Structure 1
Amino acid sequence: MADDTITSRPTVPVERVEIDLRTVTEGLRFPEGPVAMPDGSVALVEIARGTLTRVDVATGDTRVVAECGGGPNGAAMGPDGRMYLADNGAFFTWFTDEASGITIPGPTPDEHVGGAIAAVDLMNGTTDLVYTAIDGVRLVAPNDLVADGHGGFWFTDHGVQHGNHPGRPGLCYAKADGSGIWGRAFDCDANNGVGLSPDGSVVYAAETHSGRLFAWDVVAPG
């Protein structure tokens, strides 16, 4: 990676476009990380439920693929056919608004010890922990991940915030086979979503608290 310099661009007007929107299913418990599957279904995580769930887009029916526990926060297909999860380790307490029925995340519980990167076998639901630490230091709350097409993936750690975990990386890279994990960007403040440009030459991360989008050049895989 070339450097950690944040790339800034001028603010541009956003044009509102009307689109047709339909509800596919309801009753999910804080869903995130939808992944379009080859059979036309959608796999997603339910953070508050601790599951990887599959949704039949045609019927709206749902099926739990894996009871992951923790707080599965993001999902991406790996090179080995397993679904890789950014697990925040139950980083939030959960509340339900009685008036609206909406599930709302609250403070981090005292018993939270850290998150992990996990992998789910889609055939039998077996969940394996692939990474829990970098150089012996526990991951705080992995949030999102994206495969890079080179046997690895980039992921963000939302739990790394200014002042509470100094020196820990908020953007990381790991090999899907468990052979290596590295911190790549530091001094972040609750990095959230992560994505790659179509050609894989730029990795982007959204920083929640500051409202910023970062961009780093990728000069080689990882």
Structure 2
Amino acid sequence: MQFEKVASGLEFPEGPISLSDGSVILVEVKRQTLTRIDSDGQIERIAFLGGGPNGAAIGPDGQVYICNNGGYKWIDLGDGITADDGAASDYKTGSIQRVSLQSGAVELLYDSCDRVPLRGPNDMVFDRHGGFWLTDIGKSLQHYRFHGGVYYGLADGSCIRRAHVPVITPNGIGLSPDGRTLYVAETITGRLWSFEIEEPGVLRAFPEFPSRKPVATLTDHQFCDSLAVQADGKVCVATLNSGGISIIDPRTTDVVYHDVPGEPYVTNICFGGPDMRDAYITGSGRGNLFRAQWPDAGLLLNYNR
């Protein structure tokens, strides 16, 4: 597979969203911005978000919703690779933000759930009912770590609730084509989980523990990051260390791996284009955005335009 470099010089890009005009919007975690890259590769900063913007999604109102992890410390690994290294010195809490694409205005929606602070919101996906599922990866401090979890929020800022806690470093999150299954990728375990959805914001509870089902566990010390779902229901998981995309078939647990050469920190994939086969992939450690012609069509997300 050929990977075309669309943009470089980005500061830890994540959360790409492909728009119908050929542009891609994404967050730059280290630069703390929401950024647009047009079809010619020109870069425009839409808004300054502060903290550590991580995941992004278009909501039912056409605005961009941001998972902000609250901020990281950064280290230089050499060879042009940057990596996060625990909480920033000024870290207070994570949050969910809403950004106007027209004005760049930023609004805080949530920074806690039941008066407990959000620690590190990471990724989100909107359902067809207008609410969003999100992962909170937790937060690593010097001597301890806050656990993560899966949450559900309403886009108007009126309600956020826990759907499943605790989860070990939950990262990528996505919905099956029929909207009845929620997929969550765990970073440290390299595992993809599935949850059955009973109703908006409610996951099915099973008599036995846990109430989730393992789909696949990746080998060779691969750390899972974000994910995207194909139109055929297969789940594409971006991986760290190996630096590639693993396509997992939930029906068979078969895994097909595509390497992104020279990119150890492959963090996100999204789909766009007329046939939904333009795959946009972030190589965060080196600050790159790639495009590839994907073998199969991606699933069109709710409210994308």
Q: TM-score range by the shorter chain?
A: 0.7 to 0.9
Distance 1:129 1:100 in 2: 37
Deviation at 1:165, TM superposition (A): 3.2
Task: Map residues 36-185 of structure 1 onto 2, 5 A cutoff.
Answer: 36-57=18-39, 59-90=40-71, 92-97=72-77, 99-159=78-138, 164-165=145-146, 170-185=149-164
The answer as to 2:174 corresponding to 1:195 is yes
What is the one-letter code of the residue matched to 1:216? F
Report the CA distance between 1:187 and its aligned residue.
2.0
Unaligned runs of 5+ residues in structure 2 are 202-305
Mapped to 2, the partners of 1:30 and 1:143 lie a distance apart of 14
TM-score (norm 2): 0.62
Residues 127 and 133 of structure 2 are in contact (CA less than 8 Å); yes or no, is this contact kept in structure 1?
yes
In the TM superposition, what is the alpha-carbon distance from 1:160 to its structure 2 partner?
Answer: 5.8
Contact 2:149 / 2:167 at 8 angstroms: preserved in 1?
yes
Between Structure 1 and Structure 2, which shows a larger proportion of strand residues?
Answer: 2
Residues 133 and 217 of structure 1: CA distance in aligned 2, closer, same or farther (over 3 Å): same
Deviations 1:95-152 (A, max 9, x none): 234x422221112234321100000000010010101100111000000001112111
* Structure 2: distance between partners of 1:220 and 1:173: 11
Per-residue CA distance 1:76-107 (angstroms, 9 max, x = gap): 000011100000010x201234x422221112
Q: Is the 8 A contact 1:77 1:83 kept in 2?
A: yes
Q: Could you tell me how far apart the structure 1 residues matched to 2:58 and 2:179 are?
A: 16
Query: Which 5+ residue runs of structure 1 have no aligned equivalent?
Result: 1-18
| Residue equivalent to 1:11 | none
Higher mean alpha-carbon deviation, 108-117 vs 39-48, is at 108-117
Aligned to 1:6: none
How far apart, CA to CA, are the structure 2 residues paired with 1:209 and 1:20?
29
One-letter code aligned to 1:21: F
Q: Is the 8 A contact 1:160 1:191 kept in 2?
A: no
Q: Secondary structure at the match of 1:218?
A: strand
Name the CA distance, whole Å, in 2 between partners of 1:159 and 1:110.
Answer: 16
**Deviation string, structure 1 residues 22-65 (Cα, Å, up to 9, x no partner):** 000100010011001121100000000000000113x1111001
The CA deviation at 1:199 is 1.1
Query: Once superposed, which parts of structure 1, at least 4 consecutive aligned residues long, lie more than 3 Å away?
Result: 163-166
How many residue pairs get matched? 198
- How far apart, CA to CA, are the structure 1 residues paired with 2:76 and 2:8? 15
Q: Distance in 1 between matches of 2:90 and 2:52?
A: 13
**Aligned partners of 2:7 and 2:76: how far apart in 1?**
19
**Does the 8 Å CA contact 2:175/2:182 hold for their aligned counterparts?**
yes
Tell me which amino acid in the other structure corresponds to 2:12: F
If the length of structure 1 is used for normalisation, what is the TM-score?
0.85
For the residues of structure 2 that align with 1:107 and 1:202, how far apart are their CA atoms? 31
